[in-house]
Amino acid sequence: PVDALRQTLAAGERRKKIAVMTSGGDSPGMNAAVRAVVRTGIHYGCDVFAVYEGYEGLLKGGEYLRQMKWEDVRGWLSEGGTLIGTARSMEFRERWGRKQAAGNLISQGIDALIVCGGDGSLTGADLFRSEWPSLVEELVKDGKFTQEQVEPYKSLTIVGLVGSIDNDMAGTDSTIGAYSALERIVEMVDYIDETAKSHSRAFVVEVMGRHCGWLALMAGIATGADYIFIPERAVPHGKWQEELKEVCQRHRNKGRRNNTVIVAEGALDDQLNPVTADDVKNALLDLGLDTKVTILGHVQRGGTAVAHDRWLATLQGVDSVKAVLEMTPQTPSPLIGILENKIIRMPLVESVKMTKSVATAIGNKDFDKAISLRDTEFIELYENFISTTVKDDGAEMLPVDERLNIGIVHVGAPSAALNAATRAATLYCVSRGHKPLAILNGFSGLIQTGQIKELSWIDVENWHNLGGSEIGTNRSVAADDMGTVAYYFQKAKLDGLIIIGGFEGFNSLNQLRDSRKEYPIFNIPMVLIPSTISNNVPGTEYSLGVDTCLNSLVKYTDEIKQSASATRRRVFVCEVQGGHSGFIASFTGLITGAVSVYTPEDKITLSTIREDLALLKENFRHDKGENRNGKLVIRNEQASSVYSTELLANIISESSDGRFGVRTAVPGHVQQGGFPSSKDRVTASRFAVKCIKFIEQWNKKDIALDQNAGDEKVLRFKYDLHGAKVSTVDNEDNSAAVICVNGSKVSFKPIARLWECETNVALRKGHEVHWTEFSRIGDILSGRLKLRAEV
């Protein structure tokens, strides 16, 4: 169906012309979006133009509207800001300005415009579309064009991409640039933390977000802040100071040496008075805390895009071109968004309207409405933040008989977010009155030493940014000695278990569930949070640690590519991890613009190597010197037992006829990352709380008479949505599950079904390859697909 979009010209037909522009505030990832639009447009047989300097350029026309060639966007994935420029244009707000812009588009034969910007830019774009027929009519009346000349341009196609660091657009989980800005903030707060702890200081950090608290909320979660101020949740006038002080003092009393408060620039009290960083500082000075203010400012917009934004912008850029080609004059203008892991299209006007209604609700002091207009992830994370930091004074504690002993174990190789997830689980347990019990050093630790440690608030307080595993991890599985595992579970009186890990964790969960009949202590709810850089846990598309790994790879490949520009014409064969799963390789190939990607899913053959050699030569032939970055070939570590990284490099080198040099690059353990990325920290926190709630739901208890033994036993069960009792833990597969992301959904999938239907045990991964699309899009954007067709 995709190739049906390819434009073939009948005699006399004109080629489809698409323009792409960036507008409003710049955001990291905009270049990746423009690159994807240019190359996808060319791939489908269209002419693609870039509008330089936003709407200002559209009004000026001429050299501001430039046709883009395939080579023009080479190397753009790793550039920050927007290379085609952006501006704010007062003239475009006027009808005469828009008429002039329409004239410029018609002069170039363009009738489709892809706009990457914030809600202002997109509102302008939609207004432009709705006025288009009348603007064209006026241009004819003014004598600028004849009726015949405008005949082919009866309607204008508009597609929106949201480029904004604020993440303020309704209906989409994230906007292009938001996670890059969050990463900058989190990095800076991590630095500040070090000095704050040394001097036992409090820091108030102001972040961007005039009408949207996304950056402040996510930064608060990712940096373990004590308190946040966001526009959607105004604080009580004249009273917020007391709560702030009380929370900071409480955390100090628990042993914290520093305090962090994040303030969104648009923070308000419920009388609509701004709450500034200085107001917050003054309140903390009152408490006697040595307090400093840091206003991060434009640092937040700076730098290159993180992996997530390069991926998001690329996939959305591709989809925006498809949308242009699929739309009719009747189709409402779409906005390309994302829900969890799925790229979606939604009506632009409604999203913009809803976005604006948040500001209106805030203006009307209707803060409940303002927050309800944010997406479910925002609301969920806000509630989690409140539960684990503001209301951790016992306000949310369950009655004593509902409090649980919850085991937490790390299984497998370390990945970046193990500690962040454990911290979030612990803090939520503490606020609910549960006991978080860490099983030290994985299952073999338990089997050998039986060590289980109750974690306290202060134990985990600074784990949000620690890589590795503070409680110890191990590749061993539960079945190494099930009897001993059962003994210690019994001894600790566990009511539930959270396993955080990769395939061995998955395997252990299955073993525990399988042993329920033999060891009744395993009749407790158990859940796995997939956490492995290989992303090879069956049943889910997402695993903690992957984002950190991809960021490390992006940084690594940016650096090696740059080193090549000094030495000229160099190819790097870069070997990435992932075991038998090609996910990391395919994803990295897509977001680094690799010339080719070798994965275990696609066999390497002599003919694919030959094709790639031809593509490399073609690439270098067009390289005139201005973009002389190195080229990348990505090879998964298990892609072939014959064509090793070294051999591939030698083959390419031998065939290059001296036209380019070849080097191997093996990032190795760099991929496990040091500090977890902001996205991994936030997701870790979200999943951990969801898992505790899962365990709580499955812990309604009944006392029943055990028919065989004749004594009493506790039966655990769950209520369904209608208040009816769902069958008990021991005969209900759903009570041992994996938290999974599939497309736009997060769900708990029973391990029993996953193991039976979706697992390739020998290759330690799922049957389904959920990233095929990345490989295909990567091949389109690298030109590999075109070359293959030609060969």
Q: Is 340 left (phi over 0), alpha (psi -120 to 50) or beta?
A: left
Q: In the set 31, 100, 164, 734, which binds ligand ATP (CB under 6 A)?
A: 164
Per CB under 6 A, the segment of 123-131, 295-303, 452-460, 636-644 that binds ligand ATP is: 123-131
- State yes or no: 98 annotated in a binding site: no
- State yes or no: 298 annotated in a binding site: yes
Per CB under 6 A, the segment of 88-96, 183-191, 279-287, 487-495 that binds ligand ATP is: 88-96
Nearer to ligand ATP, 356 or 555 (CB): 356
Q: Residue 354 interacts with ligand ATP (CB under 6 A)?
A: no
Per CB under 6 A, the segment of 85-93, 147-155, 703-711, 717-725 that binds ligand ATP is: 85-93
- State yes or no: 521 annotated in a binding site: no
Environment class of 3 (CB within 10 Å of its CB; exposed 0-12, middle 13-18, buried 19+): exposed
- State yes or no: 337 annotated in a binding site: no
Q: Cα separation of 318 and 351, whole Å?
A: 20
Q: Least distance to ligand ATP from the beta carbon of 783, Å? A: 32
Environment class of 193 (CB within 10 Å of its CB; exposed 0-12, middle 13-18, buried 19+): buried
Q: Residue 123 interacts with ligand ATP (CB under 6 A)?
A: yes
Site residue total, ligand ATP (CB under 6 A): 18
Which residues on adjacent β-strands are paired with residue 295? 206
Q: Residue 167 interacts with ligand ATP (CB under 6 A)?
A: no
Nearer to ligand ATP, 160 or 496 (CB): 160
Q: Least distance to ligand ATP from the beta carbon of 59, Å? A: 9
Q: In the set 28, 75, 81, 118, which binds ligand ATP (CB under 6 A)?
A: 118
Q: Least distance to ligand ATP from the beta carbon of 268, Å? A: 18
Task: Enter the tokens of residue 340.
Answer: 């969890």
Q: Cα separation of 279 and 295, whole Å?
A: 13
Count of CB atoms within 10 A of residue 395's CB?
Answer: 10
Nearer to ligand ATP, 55 or 76 (CB): 55
Q: Least distance to ligand ATP from the beta carbon of 755, Å? A: 46
Nearer to ligand ATP, 164 or 511 (CB): 164
- State yes or no: 174 annotated in a binding site: no
Nearer to ligand ATP, 173 or 193 (CB): 173
Q: What are phi and psi of 292, to 5 degrees?
A: -125, 155
Q: Residue 132 interacts with ligand ATP (CB under 6 A)?
A: no
Q: Which SS3 state, helix, strand or coil, does residue 245 take?
A: helix
Task: Enter the tokens of residue 453.
Answer: 């440690």
Environment class of 670 (CB within 10 Å of its CB; exposed 0-12, middle 13-18, buried 19+): middle
Q: Residue 353 interacts with ligand ATP (CB under 6 A)?
A: no
Catalytic residue among 126, 166, 226, 547: 166
Nearer to ligand ATP, 23 or 678 (CB): 23
Asked whether the beta carbons of 171 and 126 are under 8 A apart, the reply is no
How many CA atoms lie within 13 Å of 448's alpha carbon, on the beta-carbon side? 9
Nearer to ligand ATP, 80 or 407 (CB): 80
Q: In the set 17, 66, 88, 776, which binds ligand ATP (CB under 6 A)?
A: 88
Q: Residue 41 interacts with ligand ATP (CB under 6 A)?
A: no
Q: Residue 260 interacts with ligand ATP (CB under 6 A)?
A: no
Q: Which residues, other chains included, contact 594 with Cβ-Cβ below 8 Å and sequence gap of 6+? A: 574, 588, 631, 632, 633, 634, 778, 782
Q: Least distance to ligand ATP from the beta carbon of 312, Å? A: 16
Nearer to ligand ATP, 55 or 488 (CB): 55
Looking at residue 728, what DSSP letter applies? P
Q: Which residues, other chains included, contact 139 with Cβ-Cβ below 8 Å and sequence gap of 6+? A: 99, 102, 103, 106, 145, 150
Q: Least distance to ligand ATP from the beta carbon of 377, Å? A: 20
Q: Rounded to the nearest 10 degrees, how much is the dihedral formed by the CA atoms of 382, 384, 385, 387?
A: 120
Count of CB atoms within 10 A of residue 538's CB?
Answer: 23
Q: Least distance to ligand ATP from the beta carbon of 138, Å? A: 17
Nearer to ligand ATP, 127 or 666 (CB): 127
Q: What stretches of 200-258 show up as alpha helix (H) in DSSP?
A: 214-223, 240-253
Q: Cα separation of 654 and 662, whole Å?
A: 9
Closest to 434 (Cα-Cα) out of 459, 395, 401: 401
Q: Least distance to ligand ATP from the beta carbon of 547, Å? A: 24
Q: Cα separation of 86 and 88, whole Å?
A: 7
Per CB under 6 A, the segment of 116-124, 200-208, 329-337, 676-684 that binds ligand ATP is: 116-124
Q: In the set 28, 29, 85, 117, which binds ligand ATP (CB under 6 A)?
A: 117
Q: In the set 22, 78, 100, 121, which binds ligand ATP (CB under 6 A)?
A: 121
CA-to-CA separations, 401 to 51, 84, 434, in angstroms, rounded: 65, 62, 10
Q: Least distance to ligand ATP from the beta carbon of 568, Å? A: 38
Parallel, antiparallel or unpaired: strands 65-67 and 712-719: unpaired
- State yes or no: 25 annotated in a binding site: yes
Q: Residue 93 interacts with ligand ATP (CB under 6 A)?
A: yes
Q: Residue 100 interacts with ligand ATP (CB under 6 A)?
A: no
- Tokens 């508009």 locate to 158
Closest to 547 (Cα-Cα) out of 504, 507, 587: 587
Q: Which residues, other chains included, contact 137 with Cβ-Cβ below 8 Å and sequence gap of 6+? A: none
CA-to-CA separations, 652 to 295, 589, 662, 779, in angstroms, rounded: 50, 18, 7, 19
Q: Cα separation of 88 and 198, whole Å?
A: 43
Nearer to ligand ATP, 61 or 450 (CB): 61
Per CB under 6 A, the segment of 86-94, 141-149, 213-221, 477-485 that binds ligand ATP is: 86-94
For the four alpha carbons of 462, 465, 470 and 476, in that order, the dihedral sign comes to positive
Task: Enter the tokens of residue 357.
Answer: 């209604």
Q: Residue 160 interacts with ligand ATP (CB under 6 A)?
A: no
Nearer to ligand ATP, 55 or 598 (CB): 55
Q: In the set 61, 71, 127, 450, which binds ligand ATP (CB under 6 A)?
A: 127
Q: What are phi and psi of 26, to 5 degrees?
A: -75, 160
Q: Residue 23 interacts with ligand ATP (CB under 6 A)?
A: yes
* Host H or E run for residue 760: strand 759-760
- State yes or no: 669 annotated in a binding site: yes
- State yes or no: 164 annotated in a binding site: yes
Per CB under 6 A, the segment of 23-31, 212-220, 427-435, 699-707 that binds ligand ATP is: 23-31
Nearer to ligand ATP, 166 or 623 (CB): 166
Q: Least distance to ligand ATP from the beta carbon of 110, Å? A: 18
Q: Which SS3 state, helix, strand or coil, does residue 217 take?
A: helix
- Tokens 């007391």 locate to 242
- Tokens 């949740």 locate to 233
The closest residue (CB) to ligand ATP is 120
Count of CB atoms within 10 A of residue 518's CB?
Answer: 10
Q: In the set 120, 332, 520, 750, which binds ligand ATP (CB under 6 A)?
A: 120
- State yes or no: 265 annotated in a binding site: yes
Q: Rounded to the nearest 10 degrees, how much is the dihedral formed by the CA atoms of 500, 502, 507, 510?
A: 50
Query: Is residue 270 annotated as a catalytic residue, yes or no?
Result: no
Q: Least distance to ligand ATP from the beta carbon of 349, Å? A: 12
Per CB under 6 A, the segment of 20-28, 265-273, 395-403, 505-513 that binds ligand ATP is: 20-28
CA-to-CA separations, 51 to 18, 574, 676, in angstroms, rounded: 10, 35, 37
Binding site, by residue number, is 25, 88-89, 118-121, 164-166, 201, 208-210, 265, 292, 298-301, 475, 532-536, 570, 577-579, 637, 663, 669-672, 764
Residues that bind ligand ATP (CB under 6 A): 23-25, 55, 88-89, 92-93, 117-121, 123-124, 127, 164, 166
List residues with catalytic annotation.
Answer: 166
Binding site for beta-D-fructose 2,6-bisphosphate, by residue number, is 475, 532-536, 570, 577-579, 637, 663, 669-672, 764
Binding site for substrate, by residue number, is 164-166, 201, 208-210, 265, 292, 298-301
